[in-house]
Amino acid sequence: MEMMAYDIIGKELASNDVLIDVPLVMEPPNLWPGCCIYRVPKNLRKINEEAYTPMLVSIGPFHHGLKELKDMEKHKLKYFKDFLYRSGKSQEDLLKIIQDNEVKIRHCYSEDCKLSSADFVKMILLDAIFIIELFVRFYNVLKVAVAGNEKELPVRTREEENDYISSQPWLVGGIRHDLILLENQLPFFVLEQLYTFALSDSSDPVHQLDFIIHSILYFGAYIYGEFHDDMQLPEEFNNKEVKHFTDLIRDVFYSVPDLKPTESLDNVYCATKLDEAGLKFKAVENRSLLDIRFHQNKWLNYCPFSNLSWLLACLPCLKSVFPPLERMQSILEVPPLMIHDSTEALFRNLVALEQCHYPSHTYICNYVVLLDYLIDTERDVELLVEKNIIVNNIGSNIRVANLINNLCLQIFEHESCYAVLGKKINKYCDNHWNRIMATMKSVYFRDFWRGTATIAALIVLGFTFWSFLRPYVKE
């Protein structure tokens, strides 16, 4: 009996019709449900190729085998040997973990890796163990650097004391840079499974740390600007599935529960314009980088003099004596942003991750776009540096302005979590009474001496006016 051919909707095909068979294996890798590690889109990569390319070490398949990264391969082998000794586990046990997850790992990448099964498993295992061993050694080095009592220092092996990587600051910085790149990632579950299997039963408290803690400690210079010896696991991560290091850093930055996109962000006035309208900028510590808030004095709608900014400018000591006076002003609270040599690479890769994986939740992109509106020129940077909102570690304010402005190139966002915020501060700046009051404060009440002179002049003017009217006033 002759078999009949049907197309994908069940329609019978004629004998001369062509049936296109699309096998499952040919499905584009970036459509796999577990895909989370991507090649950076060309429109972003062409802006700054170096921001997405590893300098010292390749992790994963995208840059595997590059000639310029070969030197680090011998260190991976050495770290692997030391890790086997540290953990007491066999190569076979570690290989089995990767082999059991090979298909799942391959599906995490947006391109089909052409390596054979044996070569792929070996590559993933060496890269993963290199990272875990690096984190453990780096933690011990940091403990030695920050500990105040040498008796409480952790016991360090001879390998750790003579470790070439941790003893070379330029290597540590370069590898840390490479490990945040979107194209240079391993699935986080691989690292966690290997770490838990090999080290969780160790008596060493360093090994018993949650691997997320190890990760945050290692990337502390990117996330916090310094090493936190007493780092604890953030509550926000209790129920989160971390996909890889780039995703982890995004989660740390994003941890603002009520930050929701609403509509597109229209043009927002730059920092100097807002300052000229009397808006106060305040740096706030211990808050997520994206947690920017605007506090407006509602009484300004009825009485433009109610912000008392002129009084606080003359007598700043009143802020500590009468804290409610400061709340009478309109304030934009912004967490400090540290700008250093790796800031551009960090934000570019976070932006690339959101553009590829979180197109409907582009929180980092929203933040970068808002910064771009606030910073037009070096004068805006100078103002934000003066307010401790930007910590400039690259020297020139012009460089900071150019860096922020260029980050927004080729970013596509449909909605912004700062749309309502932008409307509020624009409305504040458009209020002519706010601008008049800000001008009066700047001209007549800039500091104690100018304010005193202004008040004295007003008193003299009052007496002069009264002297002029007195003859005409009937007793």
**pLDDT for 236:** 57
**pLDDT for 126:** 96
**pLDDT for 231:** 47
In a shared domain, residues 93 and 212: yes
Q: Confirm whether 260 is domain-assigned.
A: no
In this model, does residue 335 exceed pLDDT 70? yes
**70-71-72 Cα angle (round to 5):** 95
Cα distance between residue 143 and residue 321, in whole Å: 41
Q: Confirm whether 6 is domain-assigned.
A: no
Residue in 433, 440, 450, 258 with CA at minimum distance from that of residue 330: 433
In this model, does residue 10 exceed pLDDT 50? no
The pairs formed by 34-37 with CB atoms below 8 angstroms and a separation of 24 or more are: 34/104, 34/107, 34/108, 35/107, 35/108, 35/109, 35/110, 36/108, 36/187, 36/243, 36/244, 36/247, 36/357, 37/62, 37/108, 37/109, 37/110, 37/182, 37/183, 37/185, 37/187, 37/243, 37/244
In a shared domain, residues 130 and 54: yes
> How far is residue 387 from each of residues 320, 350, 377, measured CA to CA in Å?
18, 26, 16
In a shared domain, residues 210 and 183: yes
**pLDDT for 271:** 95
> Which has more confidence, 430 or 38?
38
In this model, does residue 474 exceed pLDDT 80? no
Q: Confirm whether 326 is domain-assigned.
A: yes
In a shared domain, residues 370 and 386: yes
Q: Which two tokens stand for residue 182?
A: 């979107």
In this model, does residue 235 exceed pLDDT 90? no
Cα distance between residue 220 and residue 234, in whole Å: 13
**pLDDT for 49:** 94
Confidence band for 349, pLDDT divided at 50, 70 and 90 = very high
In a shared domain, residues 240 and 380: no
**pLDDT for 2:** 45
The average pLDDT across 232-254 equals 76
Residue in 216, 223, 200, 252 with CA at minimum distance from that of residue 88: 200
In this model, does residue 393 exceed pLDDT 80? yes
Provide the mean pLDDT of the chain: 79
Whose tokens are 């360093």? That residue is 206
Q: Confirm whether 406 is domain-assigned.
A: yes
Q: Confirm whether 16 is domain-assigned.
A: no
**245-247-250 Cα angle (round to 5):** 110
Domain ranges, residue 455: 434-472
In a shared domain, residues 421 and 464: no
Percent of the chain clearing pLDDT 70 (strictly above): 67
| Residue 165: CB atoms within 10 Å | 21
**pLDDT for 150:** 45
In a shared domain, residues 125 and 245: yes
In this model, does residue 41 exceed pLDDT 80? yes
In a shared domain, residues 215 and 286: no
- Where among 418, 433, 448 does a domain terminate? 433
Task: Summarize pLDDT for 430-440 with one digit per residue, the tens.
Answer: 876 666 666 65
**pLDDT for 128:** 97
Classify residue 416 by its DSSP letter. B
Confidence band for 1, pLDDT divided at 50, 70 and 90 = very low
Q: Confirm whether 5 is domain-assigned.
A: no
In a shared domain, residues 192 and 91: yes
Cα distance between residue 430 and residue 423, in whole Å: 10
In this model, does residue 24 exceed pLDDT 80? no
Confidence band for 276, pLDDT divided at 50, 70 and 90 = confident
In this model, does residue 219 exceed pLDDT 60? yes
Task: Summarize pLDDT for 355-388 with one digit per residue, the tens.
Answer: 999 998 899 999 999 999 999 999 999 999 999 9
How does strand 337-339 pair with strand 331-334? unpaired
Name the 3-class secondary structure at 431: coil
The average pLDDT across 153-158 equals 49
> Which has more confidence, 122 or 414?
122
User: Which span out of 127-136, 305-314, 326-335 was modeled with the highest average pLDDT?
Assistant: 127-136
The average pLDDT across 136-150 equals 60
- Where among 206, 224, 254 does a domain terminate? 254
In this model, does residue 155 exceed pLDDT 60? no
**pLDDT for 27:** 59
Q: Which residues sit opposite 12 in a β-bridge?
A: 6
- DSSP-assigned states of every residue in 357-388: H-TT--HHHHHHHHHHHH-SSHHHHHHHHHTT
| Residue 80: CB atoms within 10 Å | 18
In a shared domain, residues 162 and 288: no
In this model, does residue 85 exceed pLDDT 70? yes
The average pLDDT across 56-77 equals 94
In this model, does residue 448 exceed pLDDT 60? no
Q: Confirm whether 348 is domain-assigned.
A: yes
**pLDDT for 13:** 47
In a shared domain, residues 99 and 233: yes
Confidence band for 400, pLDDT divided at 50, 70 and 90 = very high
Q: Confirm whether 327 is domain-assigned.
A: yes
In total, how many domains does the chain have? 3
In a shared domain, residues 451 and 390: no
